[in-house]
Amino acid sequence: MLKTAWAGLRAHKLRLLLTSLAIVLGVAFIAGTFVLNDTIQAGFGQRVTADAEKVAVAVLPGGPDKTIARETLERVRGVAGVREAQGLLRGSAPLLGKDGKTVGDLPTTAVSIVPGALDRTTIVTGTGPGSDDQAAVLDENTAKAQGFRLGDTITVLDAKQRKHTFRLVGTLDPGLDQQLSYTGVVGFTMATAQRMTGEKGFQEIDVAGADPARLKATVAATVGGAHVVKTGTELAADLARQAGLEMEMLTIGLLMFGLVAMLVATLVIYNTFNILVAQRTREMALLRCIGATRGQVFGSILIESAVVGLVASVLGLAAGYGLSVLTLAVLAAFDAPLPTAATVTLTPATIAIGLVIGLVVTVGAAVLPARTATRVAPIAALRTQVEEQTFRTGALRVVFASLFLLAGLGAAGAGALVLPPGQQGSLLVVMAGGVLTFLGVLILGPVLVKPLSALIGWIPAKLFGVPGRLAVDNSGRNPKRAATTTVALTIGVTLMTLISVVTASTRATVTIKLDEQFPIDYQLVTQERDAGIPRVIGEELRGRPELAAVLRIRDTRVAVGGTRTQVGTYNGPIEPQVTAGSMRGFGAGQAILAEYTATDLGVKVGDTVSVTTKKAGTVPLKVVALVDEESPLPSLTMAEPQFEEAFGVVDDSRVLLNIGEGVSPEQARSVVDAATAAYPTVQVQSSTEVRGQFDETLDMLLMIITGLLGLAILISLLGIANTLSLSVYERTRESALLRALGLTKPQLRRMLSVEALVLGLIGALVGVVLGVSFGWAASRAMLDGAVFSASAGQIGVFVVLSGVAGVLAAILPSRRAARASIVGSLAAG
Amino acid sequence: MTLTETWRQAPPAVLAKALTKVYGHGDAQVHALREVDVAFATGAFTAIMGPSGSGKSTLMHCLAGLDTATSGTVHIGDVELTGLGDKQLTLLRRERIGFIFQAFNLLPTLTAEQNIRLPLEIAARQADQVLFDRVIDTVGLRDRLAHRPAELSGGQQQRVAVARALISKPQVIFADEPTGNLDSRSGAEVLSFLRTSVRELGQTIVMVTHDPMAASYADRVVFLRDGALVTDITSPSPQSVLDTLMKLEA
Ligand SMILES: Nc1ncnc2c1ncn2[C@@H]1O[C@H](COP(=O)(O)OP(=O)(O)OP(=O)(O)O)[C@@H](O)[C@H]1O
Ligand SMILES: [Mg+2]
């Protein structure tokens, strides 16, 4: 049997190669993900280890938001065996850009840079500040983005918003610290850092000395139980773990796409083996005639699949290795905040996972076809004409499909319409519904193929005459095969459409909610809550004729019923979405709550909440309305006079502006800019900018996910090409007959292209229907008050691309069909 | 003037001169056809006979433009096939030639009627409805038009193939052992349709066959041996064909 398996492999090597490509791609993606993860984790480890070698012992604060007092440093310095000890300080110090405004959404983080052996910063260009209190360093990205060069003068605000200037002497690499990478870093001497940030304590004390373990004990005894003391090695392990956590999430995300790809690959392999078995019916029957047992026939096919799976997995591992090397190179080229320098290695675990997945998927997909092969009766060897695969819709199939569809659509409907939106449970129910529906469609596929091909093929049949009509007939000719082929494509298209619909709906929902409540043109914000927007700005803007409306929000954080809550008020026109109660006649003694705040506090309209204030003691407020969380109002809103009474004069925290009728945006912007020019911390954002950022993020997400799903689409195309080339092979004599009757080579090629086009479009159409439906359901389940929106353009592109891809998949098979000699093909049999 | 003489004077439907076909190279070279000169008269039913491997199929394929000869010329009517490209050959087949093969004549996805109309549709020509009805009635397929090949017997399938070949009024129909897979009764039916179409519609038919009985339906039989034309007889009977064959094989 080994011999026949081997002969089978050799006889069908081209087809099996195409099939194995599907596995190669899937395994490569999964293995590549693991290799990437391993390499980056190793990189994290290397970096922190290098850092931690400098540190024998580190003292950390006892909890988050706590710091280490300065005296503690002195005490640590006095411990026997401590060669050197330095505090590390970290705080906010907003850097001003060249436009005189603070840079970024969050204040720049100031860090102290210590001289000597305990310096852990990586200076990239120039030098550190040394002992020069007038010198500063910036992280590379901020310096580049803001256009600062070494020797330039930079302006930084201190804790009281006063400007200080420094000479830029160097740039540093923030390394793996996500916070620093995000906010940007400005490095000072310890003295300057203390002066600028106003921070009293340290974030960490690093100690140099011999024998870390002993030192750890003595230092711990000195600093007392309120601190955490670690050796350098322990610190390194912690840092590596934290840094690696995010990478792990990313890895899991990537693996999901890998699984989708493998699922598609499974369908492709299943189809190929099914077709191979169907074509070799006579061969199998002959084997049975000459005495092969069913088990032997079964075994020969499984061996064949195992060899294919093994070869493909090995190739996949190699490709995955290459893929991760490539990805790392790209990441390095884009300066991603990830270590890319570690040596790329295929760990035994990755090799094992790759091989097992590839083998299990391939052999698993071949089991059913192999079973079919065992059912071939020896007598089939004697039949001359290979029978046309007939397909009758079985009652059982319809019953099963209906059950799945009913359950799936029911679950999705319940998740979308009945369960409360915005909760994970609802989304999970919708997703489960999606999976069930998909299974239903999978079972019903063969029944759907014929009518769908007639529907979709209507235009090609009209357009391409005889070849078109024959192609449409052919596409529905073997419904089971066509269904499996197209379902593979459907998976990718469904997911792409779903993502597209969810992002479009999210965008539409958020935009509409914003527009309804306050159609903002500009908003004034600051980086930090504490640094408010001076009231004069709001007052001045309110007087300007260029602006139609000025809405000012101010707030503070105080205890409400024991929970620290954002309490505030507003001044100006606003119509938030009231979900319960009414805002009419809102005044003293009343409160408006954001929905989530009401849930947190466990109150509803009509209940009373008490706000604890310094000036007015405890103020009881009756809840009169709940508003949508998208509203710009604070968590708890009081009437303005009562808020002033309770908290005094508080700066505005947000000012929302609307341009007047007939005023150009430039004109209005210059007014707003002029009013805020004197206040570097006050940033002006236009709604187009804000929406632009939001849109960009969504677009980016959409692009990445679509790109990752592209792999699944690619694999399904291999499936189409495979099915088509097998059909071409089966129809050798048919094609020859058509050619004899006067079909030209281009017409024959066109016939196959149209067949592939129809298959591709069926897959895409089903995918679009499923994707739009479940995209809608998922949006309903995820977003409160979801507005359905779908980009016809994007979905159109998916459909067109599927069609084009199908046609591309047909190129090679159709060329082969057209090239075959008529005489030779007529004789084939 | 005998019938044969009339044919000889009319321009032939198919004319081959010094037709040679060589397969393979060097030692493995096979001369399937050696300088064959042959003419097939318009409106006549000609059979090609010869022992197995004598080059009958090869001759037919070269005459019909399905295969290209190594040297020599072929004319279909006034068109010379030599030097035509694949596209032109295809169009020529579409316009002027009909085929009946031994087996696998029909597309399994199409009904009998669709199969019959297929050549016309490929050529984007209108079917002559009068001719269609006459052909259908002649071959007796009226009640089978909506059936697919799988639902037809072998004899019925061959009759559909005959109808398909006739419907486009080709200059010549080539048939390669059209009755090879049929029992003698169905075979006789198909052959008499072929002869009727020659008599009544003036169709030209060239048929390759092994069967002396089938050959006797033809107006003339040409004999091949080792790729060369050796003899021909007109108005054959089964016995005269058999005798000639015996002589050839001896
Ligand atoms: N493609 C080919 N390659 C090489 N030799 C070929 C090829 N086709 C035919 N031949 C050879 O050419 C010769 C003529 O073959 P052909 O098929 O024309 O014979 P035939 O008279 O039709 O025989 P049969 O009665 O068995 O059908 C034979 O010797 C055959 O082996
Ligand atoms: Mg032959």
Query: pLDDT for B191-210, tens place per residue?
Result: 998 998 898 888 999 999 98
Closest CA to B40 of B79, B7, B89, B72: B7
Q: How is residue A517 written in tokens?
A: 């409540």
Rg (CA), chain B: 18
Query: Using a CB-CB distance cutoff of 8 angstroms, which residues of chain A are in contact with residue B173?
Result: none
Cβ contact B93–A740 (<8 Å): yes
Gap between the Cα atoms of A157 and A166, Å rounded: 11
Q: How many helices (H) and strands (E) does chain A have?
A: 25, 22
Indicate if the pLDDT at residue A768 is higher than 90: yes
Separation of first and last alpha carbons in chain A: 25
Which tokens is A7 given?
């002969």
> Which residues neighbour ligand 2 (ion) by CB within 5 Å?
B 57
- Find chain A residues with C-beta within 8 A of B32's C-beta: none
pLDDT digits 0-9 by tens, A636-658: 899 888 888 888 888 888 888 88
pLDDT of residue A781: 84
pLDDT over 70 at A384, yes or no: no
Angstrom distance (rounded) from CA A758 to CA A449: 10
Give mean pLDDT, residues A454-481. Answer: 83
Q: For residues A467 and A560, give the distance between their C-alpha atoms in angstroms, rounded to a whole number.
A: 76
- A440: closest CA of chain B, how far (Å): 28
Do strands A636-637 and A563-571 pair parallel, antiparallel, or not at all (unpaired)?
parallel
Alpha carbon distance A237, A106 (integer Å): 29
Q: Could you tell me if B1 lies within 8 Å of chain A, comparing CB atoms?
A: no
- Residue B54 Cα to ligand 1 midpoint, Å, equals 7
Angstrom distance (rounded) from CA A808 to CA A717: 9
Res. A621: pLDDT tops 50: yes
Which residue in A805, A804, A33, A785 sits closest to A422, CA to CA? Answer: A785
Residue A527's pLDDT is what? 78
Cβ-Cβ contacts under 8 Å, A744 against chain B: 86-87, 90-91
Lowest mean pLDDT segment, chosen from A14-28, A404-418, B144-158 = A14-28
B3 inside 8 A of chain A by CB: no
Angle between helix axes A294-333 and A232-279 (nearest 10 degrees) is: 140
Q: Does B39 touch chain A (CB under 8 A)?
A: no
For ligand 1, say whether the CB of B55 is within 6 Å of any of its atoms.
Answer: yes
- Mean pLDDT across the stretch A90-97? 87
Nearest to A92 by CA among A170, A176, A203: A203
The average pLDDT across B133-158 equals 86
What are the tokens at A221?
């005894």
What average pLDDT does range A348-352 have in this prediction? Answer: 90
How many residues in chain A? 829
> Where are the strands (E) in B58-130, listed by range?
71-76, 79-80, 97-100
What is the mean pLDDT of the segment spanning A272-279? Answer: 79
In chain B, positions 210-229, which contact chain A (CB-CB < 8 Å)? none
**Does the structure show a pLDDT above 60 at A382?**
no
Atom of ligand 1 nearest to the CA of B58: 18
pLDDT score recorded for residue A355: 92
Does residue B84 belong to the interface with chain A, where contact is any CB pair within 8 Å? no
pLDDT mean over A730-737:
83
Closest chain A CA to residue B57? A823
First to last CA, chain B: 35
Q: Which atom of ligand 1 is nearest to the CA of B50?
A: 21
- Return residues 148-177 of B near A (CB < 8 Å): 150
- In this structure, the residue with its CA closest to atom 25 of ligand 1 is B52
Contacts of A65 (CB under 8 A, 6+ apart): none
Distances, alpha carbon B7 to alpha carbons B1, B2, B12, B167, B235, in Å: 10, 9, 8, 24, 13
Q: What is the mean pLDDT of residues B239-244?
A: 90
- Between CA A566 and CA A589 the distance in angstroms is 17
Closest partner CB to B150 (pick from A388, A738, A739): A388
DSSP-based three-state secondary structure for B107: coil
The predicted pLDDT at position A489 comes to 87
Cα R_g (chain A), whole angstroms: 34
Which protein residue's CA is at the shortest distance from atom 26 of ligand 1? B52
Distance from CA of A427 to the nearest CA of B (A): 46
Contacts 24+ apart (CB under 8 A), B154-159: B154/B181, B154/B182, B154/B186, B155/B182, B155/B183, B155/B185, B155/B186, B155/B187, B155/B189, B155/B190, B156/B112, B157/B105, B157/B106, B158/B100, B158/B105, B158/B182, B158/B186, B158/B190, B159/B189, B159/B190, B159/B193
The response to whether residue B54 sits with its C-beta less than 6 Å from ligand 1 reads yes
CB A320 within 8 A of CB A358: no
The rounded mean pLDDT for chain B is 87
Residue with tokens 């698993």: A364
Query: What was the pLDDT predicted at A385?
Result: 46
Give the integer Cα–Cα distance in Å for A154 and A165: 6
Q: What is the full DSSP assignment across A43-72?
A: HHHHHHHHHHTT-SEEEEESSTT--B-HHH
Band the pLDDT of A11: cuts 50, 70, 90. Answer: low
Q: What is the pTM of this model?
A: 0.75
**pLDDT confidence of residue A2:** 63
Rounded distance between C-alpha atoms, residue A230 and residue A368, angstroms: 58
How far apart CA A537 and CA A675 sit, in angstroms, is 6
Per-residue burial over A621-657, b if 16 or more Cβ lie within 10 Å, else e, is: bebbbbbbbbbbbbbbbbbbebbeebbeebbbbbbbb
Mean pLDDT of A693-697: 78
Is the pLDDT at A291 greater than 80? The verdict is: no
Q: Which pLDDT does position A610 carry in this prediction?
A: 86
Which tens digit of pLDDT belongs to each residue from A555-594? 888 888 778 888 889 888 887 788 888 888 888 888 898 8
pLDDT at site B206? 94
Say which amino acid occupies B242.
Answer: L
Place of tokens 């709906």: A505
Burial of A790 (C-beta count, 10 Å sphere; 0-12/13-18/19+): buried
Q: What's the pLDDT tens digit per position in A629-638?
A: 777 888 889 9
Give the residue, by CA position, lying nearest to ligand 1 atom 22.
Answer: B57
Residue B33 Cα to ligand 1 midpoint, Å, equals 10
Indicate the residue of A466, A822, A823 with minimum beta-carbon distance to B122.
Answer: A466
State the Cα–Cα distance between residues A524 and A251, nearest whole angstrom. Answer: 38
Residue among B19, B33, B49, B56 to mutate when testing ligand 1 (max atoms within 8 A of CB): B56
Q: What is the C-alpha to C-alpha distance for residues A758 and A726, in angstroms, rounded to an integer? A: 17
Residue A829 is predicted with a pLDDT of 46
| Secondary element (H or E) of residue A581 | strand A578-581
Cβ contact, residue pair A477, B101, below 8 Å: no
The residues pairing with A85 across neighbouring beta strands, listed in sequence order, are: A207
Q: Which two tokens stand for residue B97?
A: 């030639």
Closest CA to A439 of A477, A414, A406: A406
The Cα A465–Cα A582 span in angstroms is: 67
One-letter amino acid for residue B48 of the chain? I
Average pLDDT of the segment spanning A357-381: 82
* DSSP β-ladder status, A163-173 and A135-139: parallel
Chain A positions touching B169 (Cβ under 8 A) are: none
Residue pair A169/A154 in contact by the 8 Å Cβ criterion: no
Q: How far is the CA of B52 from the centre of ligand 2 (A)?
A: 7
Report CA-CA distances (Å) from A815 to A748, A759, A829, B94.
9, 18, 20, 21
Measured between alpha carbons, how far is A51 from A38 in angstroms, rounded to an integer?
A: 20
Chain-centroid distance of CA A66 in Å reads 34
Q: Does B87 touch chain A (CB under 8 A)?
A: yes
Paired tokens of A147: 């256009």
Whats the size of chain B, residue-wise?
250
User: What b/e sequence results for B14-38 when a residue is b if at least 16 CB atoms lie within 10 Å of its CB, and e otherwise?
Assistant: bbbeebbbeeeeeeeeebbbbebeb
Helices H / strands E in chain B, number of each: 9, 10
Choose among A465, A738, A823: nearest Cβ to B67.
A823
d(CA B135, CA B115): 14
Strand partners for B234: B220
Probe site for chain A from B61, B96, B99, B104 (most A CB atoms < 10 A): B104
Q: What string of DSSP letters covers A167-191? A: EEEEEEE-TT-HHHHHH-EEEE-HH
User: Looking at per-residue confidence, does A379 or B167 come out higher?
Assistant: B167
Mutate to test the pocket of ligand 1, among B20, B27, B30, B211 (most ligand atoms within 8 A of CB): B30
| Residue that is written with structure tokens 């089964």 in the block | B238
Structural domains of chain B sorted by starting position, each given as residue range(s) with its CATH number in brackets: 42-61+84-249 (3.40.50.300)
Tell me: the pLDDT tens digits for A509-543? 887 776 766 577 888 888 776 668 888 888 888 88
**What percentage of residues in chain A have a pLDDT greater than 70?**
94
* B215 Cα to the center of ligand 2, angstroms: 15
